[in-house]
Structure 1
Amino acid sequence: MSPTREPANGGRRLVIVESPAKAKTIKGYLGPGYVVEASVGHVRDLPNGAAEVPAKYKGESWARLGVNVNHDFEPLYVVNTDKKEQVKKLKQLLAESDELLLATDEDREGEAIAWHLREVLKPKVPVRRMVFHEITQDAIQDAVRNPRDLNQRLVDAQETRRILDRLYGYEVSPVLWKKVMPRLSAGRVQSVATRLVVERERERMAFRSAEYWDLTGTFATERGAGDAEPGTFGARLNTVDGRRVAQGRDFGADGQLKNPDQVLHLDEENARALAAALAETRFSVRSVESKPYRRSPYAPFRTTTLQQEASRKLGFGAKLTMQVAQKLYENGFITYMRTDSTTLSDTAVNAARVQVTQLYGAEYLPERPRVYAGKVKNAQEAHEAIRPSGDRFRTPAETGLTGEQFRLYELIWKRTVASQMKDATGQSVTVKVGGQAADGRDAEFTATGKIINFHGFLKAYVEGSDDPNAELDDRERRLPQVGEGDPLTADELSVDGHATKPPARYTEATLVKELEEREIGRPSTYASIISTILDRRYVFKKGTALVPSFLSFAVVGLLEKHFGRLVDYDFTAKMEDDLDRIAAGSAASVPWLRRFYFGEDGNADGGADGSVGAPGSAADSGNGDGDHLGGLKELVSDLGAIDAKGVSSFPVGEGITLRVGRYGPYVEGPPPSPDEPGQRADVPDDLPPDELTVELAKELLAKPSGDFELGTDPETGRPIVARDGRYGPYVTEVLPEGTPKTGKNAVKPRTASLLKSMSLDTITLDDALRLLSLPRVVGTDPQTGEEITAQNGRYGPYMKRGTDSRSLETEEQIFTITLDEALAIYAQPKQRGRAAAKPPLKELGTDPQSERPVVVKDGRFGPYVTDGETNATLRRDDDPETITAERGFELLAEKRAKGPAKKATKKKATKKKATAKKATEKTTTAKSTSAKTTAKKTAAKKTTTKKAAAKKTASASKTSASEKDGSGE
C-alpha cells in the first residue's frame, strides 16, 4: 500500500465531509497532518421565508422566490441560520490549513455541497475534490492520493433542479393556500406521487366486485403406498367442454366479464351441480408436460431495490431504510447507498466469489463472473451497486452490528454474494386430468409442479414479493410420478367461491417501484418524497398500505383541473430527461428555465433546445394551435376560474356531499331549501375514502354531532348547547346576535369540556350548567387568606390555591369536596415525584436494535412507544391497540436517528453587567472622553463597512460571472 499523500512543506490539510459520523470514521484512516470536520449537510441554500431574505433584496419583486427570474434565474443563496456557527468554525480551521479537500458524496447533491462550501469559505489555499464510494482505509487513502477538480456540470444540474423545485413549490403552493387550506405544499414529484395514490383509491372506489366459483379436486394415483412420490395431488378445474372456466383476471373493474364469449362463468348453483355430476366419475391423466426450470440470481441492490426489499423482508419504510443504510455507509460497512448502478467492481466480484466458494462450495461458483447491465434510464453517477465494503466481505456475524443495522447489512451481504452464484435449475411439470360427468359434460383439471434439482443462488438468497400470496422462487411443488393414461380417483371435489378484489393500495415499496418504472424523479429522493406526503397528511398508513386523505383528493383535483401538465406523468418524466440532458451538457439551463417559467412563442414541438412544452401551454393541451406557449407564471396569475368550494366538494350520493374544510373533512346532507345549509357531520380523519358509502354518511349525519340545545340558562337567558368538536365533546352558551366577537368589547362564550364520565347521549342541562360554573370556589384558606378553587384541567381534576395546585382523585370531587377536606390535602407534603406509573397498554416484544422490551404507554401527551431508553410518540394514524411490533420499532428507530433534542443555551451576561457597573463609576469627564472616542470609532467603522461592502459587491459580481461561465449556456 502506497503512503497517503502528505501536504507540501509539512503543512496540514483540512478535509470537510457532510456528517460527524463520517468525519470520525475517515479521521481514523488519515495521518496527523489531516483535520477532518463536518459541514453537517448543506451550509447554504435559497432563503427559507421572508425573514432570511437580506434587507437589500426585500423590495425586489422576485425576493419571495429567492430566485431572480428577471436575471437569468440567478439564485439568492444565504447561509443557513443553524449553520453559521459551523461555518465560522470551518473558516477558523481553514485559516490554519495549507490545503482544502472537499470530501462530500460523489453525486449531484454532494458536488453541490462541495461547491457551496468553496463559495462560502472563499479559500486562499489550493482546493481539490476527494471522492470515494466506500469508507475503508484503502478507499480513503486512494481518494487522498487522487483528488480531482469540482465537476461544474453536476453543480449546474443540481442547481437547476433546486431552482425548478423552488419555482414550482413557491408558485403553486399559494394557490392551494387560497383555494383549499393554508399551509399546504405542492412539489414537482410529491404532487405526482400523491396523484398516483389518489388515482389508485379512485379505482378502488369505482371497483365493483364479481363473484365466481370453481372446483378443486384431490386426486389419488392407483400406485402402491411404497412409491417414492406422494400418491395424491390437488388440481383446479380448468375447462368444461373445452371452454375455460372464468377466474378473477377475466373480470373488469366494473364486475363484468371482459370476454364473455370466451370463458365459462360458473355461479354457485352450477358449480355445485357440476361437482355432484362428477362425484362418480373415473378420471385419468390426459397429458404430462415437463420443461426445464432455470432461475438466475437477482442483480445487486441499487437504491430503489434496496428500499423495496427492505420493506418486504424487514418491514422498513423507505425513510428508515435510508437512515440505517447511511449509518452503515458512514461507519465503513457498505458502499454508497444512493446509486442507480447494479455494477460491481472487480474487487467486489472477487470478494463475492471467494465467499461463495468458502461458504457454499466450488459447485455453486459459475466459471465466469456475472456482469449486470444497468436498466435505469439516465442512470447518474459512476457508483457501484450497494454492497459490503472492502476487498473482503465481512459476514454479518463478524461485523458486531445489532438491530436494524445488522438486519439490513445481512440483507445486502446475502444479495451481493448470491449475485455471483450459479443459476437454480430444475423441472416444471403440468399435469392435465380429465373425466366425463354424469350429465355428459367433459371436465378438465390442471395441476402444476416444480422441482428444484440444484438450488444455486437460492441457497443464499430468495427475493420477497409485494403480493403476500405469491409463491417465492425457492418453493417446490412436487407431483407424483404419473404418465399419460394413468387412472385416477377423486378423493374429494370441493366447490370454491371467490370474489374479485379491488386493486391493492400502494405500499412504500410498490410506490417506489411505480415511480421508478414511470421514470419520475430520482431514485435517491423517493424516501424523502414519501416522507413528505406522509408528513403533510396527504397520505396516511393503514398497516403498510398508503391511503390518501380526503385532503389529497381536493389538492389533486385542483391540480388536475387547473395545472394538468404539472401533474401529468409523461410531462414530469420528460422534465427529468431535460434535467439529465442539462447535467450531460447537451442542454442549457437558463433557456429551459425561461421556457418553463415564462413560456415563449413557438410551436408544439418544443423550443430550439428540445425541451418539453411549458405547463399550461398549447403544446401541453394538445389543441394543436401552437401560437403561444404559456409558462408557470402566467398559469398562476389568474385564479378567478378556480372554484374553491367546487374543488373541495365530492358527491357521495343521494344528495350527500363530502367537503374538505379548514378543520378537516365533513359530510353535508341535502339542504332543506336553497338558502339553507344541510345538516353536517365530521368525518374521521383516518377513514379511507373508499369506505365512505352513502350508508356510512347517513350514519354520521344521524349521530348527535353538531349543535343540539339542552335548554336555557335561567340566570342569563342564553341557550346552552352541546357539541361534538374536533377535540372532544363540550358544552357552551350561545351569545345573542350582534355580540362583538373581536376587538376591545369582544365577549367570549363560556365553554367547558365534558368530564370523562359524561357523554353527549346522556348529558343534561343541569350537567352543563355545573360544568359552565367551574372553577368552583371551595372556600378561603384561613392561614393564607387565599381562595381555593376546584376545576377540571387538561390532566384531570385539581384544586388551586394561588400558584399551588393539587390533584384530585375523582372528577366528582370537583363538585363535592369541602373546605376542610381541601385543607387536609394541602396540609400533606406535596408529591414532587411523578404519580404511580400506568400499566402498559400493549407489549410489542424486544427491539432488534436496543434489545430491550418495547411497550405502548399512555403518556401525558398521548400514547407512545418506549424501550426504557427512547420514547416515540405515536402518529395520528397509529392505533395503540392495533399497532404492530414492526411499526413500534420503526418509530423508535426514527426517534434515535433524530438524536436528542437540542437544548437552548443562554448567553452569559457577566461581561455586560461588569461593563455597566464600571460605566456608572466613571466621572463626567471620563464620560465625555469616552463619547468622543466612541464617535471616532463609529466614523472609522462606517468607512470600513463601506469599503467592505464595495469589496463584497465586486466579489459577488465575479462569482456571478463565473457561475454563468460554467452554466453551459
Structure 2
Amino acid sequence: MVAREMAATKGRRLVIVESPAKAKTIAGYLGKDYMVESSIGHIRDLPNNASEIPAKDKDKAWARLGVNVDDEFQPLYVVDSRKKKVVADLKAKLKNADELLLATDEDREGEAIAWHLVQELKPKVPVRRMVFHEITRGAIERALGQTREIDSHLVDAQEARRILDRLYGYEVSPVLWRKIMQGLSAGRVQSVATRLVVQRERERMEFFAADYWDIVATFDPGSFTARLAAVDGKRVAQGRDFSSVGELKGSDVVHLDEATAGALAQALGDQSFAVRSVESKPYRRSPYAPFRTTTLQQEASRKLGYGAARTMQIAQRLYENGFVTYMRTDSITLSGTAVSAARAQVAELYGREYLPEAPRTYVSKVKNAQEAHEAIRPAGEAFRTPAQTGLSGDEFRLYELIWMRTVASQMRDAEGRSVSVRIGATAATGEHCEFSASGRVITFHGFLKAYVEGHDDPDADRDDRETRLPNLEEGDPLSVAELSPAGHETRPPARYTEATLVRELEERGIGRPSTYASIIGTIQDRGYVYKKGTALVPAWLAFAVVRLLERHFARLVDYN
C-alpha cells in the first residue's frame, strides 16, 4: 500500500542495496515503479596496490598508504577495479530515476556504503536513506515511509576504523616481512586475537599437573553417590586449590595422596554413617536473553558445530530471504511486536501456564554495546515455526536455534528445589570425615521445555539435568554399598575454540562482533592458527610474530 502510494506521487525510484539476494527479496515487495539494484558490497576503498593510485597522486609520499598523514589523515578512495562495471550500471539506472533510495544495512559499514555511493554516483535527484531490521513486506513499507538522511557520525566512525586498520597493517606488516617471512600480515584486532591464542598455549606449556585424591561412596537407601568433602574440619583439596605449577595455594585444605586416600577408605569401611545436615532451598533459573551476534556464534558452535564464519554466512542468507532480523547486532532487546509474537507462540505451543504475567525485557551487559538494532529473531509480526518455513539443511537448523531461543526468552522461569546433604563418620583411625552430596529436582520446567543452552565445558551439567536424592533427615543412619578412593589430576587451561575466543574478545571489548568471524578466518588463512578438532592451536609462526610484536610494538597488542 505505502509502496504504491509513494510510487504514484514520486515517479520511478532507484533502490540500492548491498547484495543481489537482498535486492531480489525486496524487489518482490515493491511495484514496477521501483528499480532494485545491488552494489555487491563496497564500491570504493583505500588503494590496495600502486596500480590503483590515481596518476595525480602517484608522486605523493603518502599515496602508497592511501592516507595523507600530513593533512588530518585524509583518506584516498578509489573505485575497486572489479566494481567499475557495477558503478557504470548504477549510473545508467540512476539517469532513469526520479529519486535514489539507499537501503544498505543500518550499521557503520552499511552507512559507509551508502555515503560512498552518493560520492561516486553524484545523483542530481533527491537522495534518502532507507533502513530496516528485517526484510518483510511490512518492514519495507514502513521504511519507505520513514526515510532519513545519511548519518555522518556512523560514516565517520567507519572511516576512522578503516584508517586505523590501514595504518596498523601497512606500517607493522613490512616489519614482519623483513624480520620473519614475506607475506605475513598484522592487524589491529587480528594481532591481538593471535596473541590471545599464543598466550593460552604458553600457559599450557608452563603448566604442571598436580595429583589429588578423594573418596567416592555409594550410600543406601536410594543408592546415591557422595564424595569426601572434609577431614577433621578441613576441606579436602580439589583441582581449584592448585596453582598452574602444581602447588597447593593455601594451607587450609587437606591434600590427600593415593596412599592416604586408600588407607582412609579402608578405615571407614566398617564404620557407621549418619546424615549430619540437610539443606533444601528453592531452585529458579531464568531464560537466556535472545541472541546477539556473538552469542549466536557461540551457541551455533556448541550445538551445531558451525564455525563463526559459517554461522554468519547462513544467518546472512536467512536475513536476505526474509526469515530472520539483521544478524550483526549487540542488542538483546525485542520490539513490542516481536514480544507479542513470541508470547503468542508460547501460549499456542506450550500453554498459557508457561507465560509470565508481564513480557520479559533484557539489558545488555556487553562493553561498548551499540543497540541500534533488535536482537536476532525470526522475522515478521507472527513467527513461523521451523516446520512452516520450508527451509532445509543448515538454514533450517540455524533458524530453529534462533526461533527456539527467541520463544524461550518470553517463557516463565524453571522452578524446583536443590538439596545439599552432609554425611558424617569417624574412621577407625580416628579421623572425623564428612561426605557431601547434592541434588536438584525441577518441578516446573518453564523455558527449559523450549530451549537449553549449551556449555563450552563438556563436563558441565545441563540446566535441565535433575539429580534426585532420597528423602533424608538429620540423624538418619546410612549404609555403605561401595567406598573407594578416586584419583584426579589438574588440567591445563583449555585451548580456545572459535566460541570461546569470540566470548573472550567480546568480554575484553576488542574489535566488533560483526568482525569476529572474519578475524578468526584471517588468523587461520595466514597460517598463524590451525584447528585440531574444535580447538584453535597456534603455529610456531604465530609464536615468532607475537614475540616480535610484544618486544617492539607492545602497546599495539596489549589487551589489558
TM range (shorter): over 0.9
**Matched AA of 1:543:** G
Could you say which residue in structure 2 is the equivalent of 1:917?
Answer: none
- Paired with 2:5 and 2:289, the residues of 1 have a C-alpha distance of 36
Sequence identity (%): 71
- Paired with 1:127 and 1:207, the residues of 2 have a C-alpha distance of 61
- Paired with 1:169 and 1:234, the residues of 2 have a C-alpha distance of 57
- Paired with 1:257 and 1:251, the residues of 2 have a C-alpha distance of 5
Report the secondary structure of 1:115's partner residue. Answer: helix
CA contact (8 A) 2:2 2:145 kept: no
- Paired with 2:5 and 2:559, the residues of 1 have a C-alpha distance of 49
Report the secondary structure of 1:96's partner residue. Answer: coil
Could you say which residue in structure 1 is the equivalent of 2:328?
Answer: 338
Q: Deviations over 1:381-404 (max 9, x none)?
A: 510000000000000000000111
Greater alpha carbon shift after TM alignment, 360-369 vs 377-386: 377-386
5 Å-filtered alignment, 1:299-698, equals 299-570=289-560
Q: Deviations over 1:887-912 (max 9, x none)?
A: xxxxxxxxxxxxxxxxxxxxxxxxxx
**Matched AA of 1:16:** I
- Paired with 2:242 and 2:77, the residues of 1 have a C-alpha distance of 56
**Matched AA of 1:160:** A
State the shift of 1:376 in Å: 2.1
Q: Does 1:265 align with 2:255?
A: yes
CA contact (8 A) 2:17 2:104 kept: yes
Q: Deviations over 1:636-665 (max 9, x none)?
A: xxxxxxxxxxxxxxxxxxxxxxxxxxxxxx
**What is the TM-score with the length of structure 2 in the denominator?**
0.99
State the shift of 1:5 in Å: 4.1
Q: Deviations over 1:684-721 (max 9, x none)?
A: xxxxxxxxxxxxxxxxxxxxxxxxxxxxxxxxxxxxxx
Q: Does 1:246 align with 2:226?
A: no
5 Å-filtered alignment, 1:793-808, equals none
Change over 3 Å in CA distance of 1:280–1:128 after alignment to 2: same
Change over 3 Å in CA distance of 1:29–1:99 after alignment to 2: same
CA contact (8 A) 1:240 1:442 kept: yes
Report the secondary structure of 1:236's partner residue. Answer: strand
Could you say which residue in structure 2 is the equivalent of 1:176?
Answer: 176
Q: Where does structure 1 lack aligned partners over 5 or more consecutive residues? A: 222-230, 571-969
Could you say which residue in structure 1 is the equivalent of 2:197?
Answer: 197
**Matched AA of 2:259:** E
Greater alpha carbon shift after TM alignment, 316-325 vs 380-389: 380-389
CA contact (8 A) 2:219 2:479 kept: yes
Report the secondary structure of 1:379's partner residue. Answer: coil
- Paired with 1:381 and 1:237, the residues of 2 have a C-alpha distance of 48
- Paired with 1:380 and 1:75, the residues of 2 have a C-alpha distance of 26
State the shift of 1:11 in Å: 2.3
- Paired with 1:2 and 1:29, the residues of 2 have a C-alpha distance of 11
**Matched AA of 2:79:** V
Could you say which residue in structure 2 is the equivalent of 1:135?
Answer: 135
CA contact (8 A) 1:213 1:497 kept: yes
CA contact (8 A) 1:319 1:528 kept: yes
State the shift of 1:374 in Å: 1.8
Report the secondary structure of 2:358's partner residue. Answer: coil
CA contact (8 A) 1:106 1:381 kept: no
- Paired with 2:515 and 2:292, the residues of 1 have a C-alpha distance of 13
CA contact (8 A) 2:10 2:98 kept: no
Change over 3 Å in CA distance of 1:340–1:167 after alignment to 2: same
Change over 3 Å in CA distance of 1:453–1:517 after alignment to 2: same
Could you say which residue in structure 2 is the equivalent of 1:94?
Answer: 94
- Paired with 1:457 and 1:381, the residues of 2 have a C-alpha distance of 25
- Paired with 2:294 and 2:132, the residues of 1 have a C-alpha distance of 21
Alignment length (residue pairs): 560
CA contact (8 A) 1:108 1:155 kept: yes
CA contact (8 A) 1:5 1:144 kept: no
State the shift of 1:2 in Å: 4.7
Report the secondary structure of 1:372's partner residue. Answer: coil
Q: Does 1:63 align with 2:54?
A: no
State the shift of 1:9 in Å: 5.8
- Paired with 1:378 and 1:289, the residues of 2 have a C-alpha distance of 41
Could you say which residue in structure 1 is the equivalent of 2:111?
Answer: 111
**Matched AA of 2:431:** R
CA contact (8 A) 2:208 2:244 kept: yes
CA contact (8 A) 1:5 1:145 kept: no
State the shift of 1:212 in Å: 0.9
Q: Deviations over 1:471-511 (max 9, x none)?
A: 01000000011111111011001211111110000000000
Report the secondary structure of 2:6's partner residue. Answer: coil
5 Å-filtered alignment, 1:650-799, equals none
Could you say which residue in structure 1 is the equivalent of 2:187?
Answer: 187
**Matched AA of 1:256:** E
- Paired with 1:216 and 1:530, the residues of 2 have a C-alpha distance of 43
State the shift of 1:4 in Å: 4.1
Q: Does 1:155 align with 2:155?
A: yes
- Paired with 2:405 and 2:4, the residues of 1 have a C-alpha distance of 33
Could you say which residue in structure 2 is the equivalent of 1:294?
Answer: 284
Report the secondary structure of 2:530's partner residue. Answer: strand
Q: Deviations over 1:139-189 (max 9, x none)?
A: 001111211110011101100110011001000000100011111000011
Q: Deviations over 1:916-960 (max 9, x none)?
A: xxxxxxxxxxxxxxxxxxxxxxxxxxxxxxxxxxxxxxxxxxxxx
Q: Deviations over 1:294-315 (max 9, x none)?
A: 0000000000000000000000
* Structure ranking higher on relative contact order (CA contacts 8 Å, 6+ apart): 2
Could you say which residue in structure 2 is the equivalent of 1:577?
Answer: none
- Paired with 1:8 and 1:429, the residues of 2 have a C-alpha distance of 69
Q: Deviations over 1:261-310 (max 9, x none)?
A: 21111111111111111110111111100011000000000000000000
Could you say which residue in structure 1 is the equivalent of 2:80?
Answer: 80
Rg comparison, structure with higher value: 1
Could you say which residue in structure 1 is the equivalent of 2:25?
Answer: 25
Q: Deviations over 1:59-90 (max 9, x none)?
A: 11101101111111111111011111111111
State the shift of 1:8 in Å: 6.2
**Matched AA of 1:144:** L
Report the secondary structure of 2:271's partner residue. Answer: coil
**Matched AA of 2:355:** L
Change over 3 Å in CA distance of 1:484–1:133 after alignment to 2: same
- Paired with 1:405 and 1:453, the residues of 2 have a C-alpha distance of 34
